[in-house]
């Protein structure tokens, strides 16, 4: 009996003193924070970014062209550095840019990318929802309505066109509002009580096409967006298009949609890319399983990132993008899983 009690006591001691998976995640988070790359804006303020070899115009080590999206994701899980970066990416007129460093940088062929996109607008919305900041969303919506393209110019613009997220996208029109952009702006506006966020509905009315709530009432929209997001999870190509489908489901979660709605789309994502922990989270996978996946894939002090230029969860997992993790992607997952 004494021997049995001794064995049970040893097992209990080991159970209490051995590091748990969560403890290890906390330790790993400290390493990721130490290694994560930051860029600096013109005022010298640091913000999360990817790193690149010295290139660009002017030459820089900052690959910050998609950072409003990624910083919006970071903000949504409580990472203040991400919130600050999105906040500081909006100028005094209400216009949002790709990063704080890129304010004022418009398209130059072969040198500077288009200043914003529908992808980046997702980060701005995530920021506004996370920080409950209606004033920033209202300011952007106001800027958008004031900068619609002119369709008929006769002694001054007579008819303005469809809303756009930036004004320098003539090369590919990537700033033009898509249906999903219209819907998410409208729903975020409803959540934050920002009446002018329904920019597509307002534009239609100004074009004498008075269609209530952009073809559907808000209640109808709420019943349809989940199906749209899940459909994107089915049809979008692997890589960043599939990640955008995941972000859209994540936005629905932040808008307060039921877990079942998000999990249905997440299950499709996870089936297509089972090694993606972000997709596993959206599918409602066991937290221990998802945490282990993050720990297995993300860099450690024993196996640091080779180069810091990948937000891993937007790439095909077969290419092992985490070997070049920017570290902020891992910090995002750590915060999502409850690590400080």
Could you tell me if 75 and 335 are in contact, meaning their C-beta atoms sit under 8 angstroms apart?
no
SS3 state at 108: strand
> Is residue 209 left, alpha or beta, with left meaning phi > 0 and alpha meaning psi from -120 to 50?
beta
* Predicted pLDDT of residue 220: 57
| Residue count (the chain) | 340
62: which DSSP letter?
A: E
* Predicted pLDDT of residue 92: 97
pLDDT tens, position by position, for the chain (340 residues)?
Answer: 544 444 344 333 333 334 577 789 999 999 999 999 999 999 999 999 999 987 766 778 999 999 999 999 999 999 999 999 999 999 999 999 999 999 999 999 988 999 999 999 999 999 999 999 999 999 999 999 999 999 898 888 888 999 999 999 999 999 999 989 998 999 999 999 999 999 998 998 888 776 655 445 555 555 677 777 888 999 999 999 999 999 999 999 999 888 888 999 999 999 999 999 999 999 999 999 999 999 999 999 999 999 999 999 999 999 999 999 999 999 999 999 999 9
**Sequence-separated (6 or more) residues with CB below 8 Å from residue 101:** 39, 40, 41, 42, 47, 60, 62, 64
* Predicted pLDDT of residue 205: 86
325: which DSSP letter?
A: B
219: its two tokens: 């209640």
CA distance 339 to 289: 15
What is the helix (H) or strand (E) element at residue 53, kind and residue range? strand 50-55
Angle at 73 between CA 69 and CA 74, to 5 degrees: 115
Query: Which residues are 38's β-sheet partners?
Result: 48
60: which DSSP letter?
A: E
167: its two tokens: 């004004």
* Predicted pLDDT of residue 212: 57
Instruction: Record the pTM.
Output: 0.90
296: its two tokens: 């297995």
CA distance 164 to 3: 75
* Predicted pLDDT of residue 112: 93
- Nearest alpha-carbon partner for 51 in 316, 306, 332, 333: 306
**Sequence-separated (6 or more) residues with CB below 8 Å from residue 333:** 277, 278, 281, 290, 294, 298, 313
Ranges of H-type helices in the chain:
2-17, 21-35, 67-76, 80-87, 118-130, 134-146, 179-192, 199-206, 218-235, 240-254, 259-272, 277-282, 287-297, 328-336
């Amino acid at each position: 009996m004494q021997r049995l009690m001794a064995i049970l006591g040893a097992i209990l001691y080991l159970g209490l003193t051995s590091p748990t998976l969560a403890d290890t995640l906390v330790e790993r988070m400290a390493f990721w924070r130490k290694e994560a790359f930051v860029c600096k804006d013109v005022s010298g303020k640091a913000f999360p970014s990817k790193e690149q070899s010295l290139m660009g115009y002017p030459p820089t080590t900052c690959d910050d062209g998609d950072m409003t999206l990624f910083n919006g994701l970071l903000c949504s899980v409580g990472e203040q550095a991400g919130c600050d970066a999105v906040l500081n990416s909006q100028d005094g007129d209400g216009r949002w840019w790709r990063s704080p460093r890129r304010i004022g940088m418009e398209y130059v062929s072969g040198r500077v990318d288009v200043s914003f996109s529908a992808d980046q607008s997702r980060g701005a919305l995530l920021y506004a929802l996370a920080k409950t900041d209606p004033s920033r969303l209202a300011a952007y919506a106001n800027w958008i309505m004031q900068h619609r393209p002119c369709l008929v110019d006769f002694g001054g613009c007579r008819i303005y066109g469809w809303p756009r997220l930036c004004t320098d996208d003539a090369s590919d029109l990537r700033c033009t509002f898509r249906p999903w952009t219209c819907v998410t702006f409208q729903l975020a506006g409803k959540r934050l009580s920002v009446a002018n966020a329904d920019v597509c509905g307002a534009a239609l009315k100004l074009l004498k096409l008075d269609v209530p709530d952009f073809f559907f009432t808000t209640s109808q929209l709420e019943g349809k967006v989940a199906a749209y997001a899940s459909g994107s999870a089915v049809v979008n190509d692997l890589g960043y298009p599939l990640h955008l489908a995941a972000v859209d489901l994540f936005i629905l979660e932040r808008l307060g949609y039921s877990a079942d709605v998000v999990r249905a789309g997440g299950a499709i994502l996870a089936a297509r890319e089972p090694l993606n922990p972000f997709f596993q989270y959206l599918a409602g996978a066991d937290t221990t399983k998802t945490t282990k996946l993050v720990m297995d894939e993300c860099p450690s002090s024993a196996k640091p990132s080779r180069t810091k230029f990948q937000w891993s969860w937007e790439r095909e997992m077969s290419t092992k993008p985490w070997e070049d993790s920017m570290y902020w992607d891992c910090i995002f997952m750590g915060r999502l899983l409850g690590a400080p």
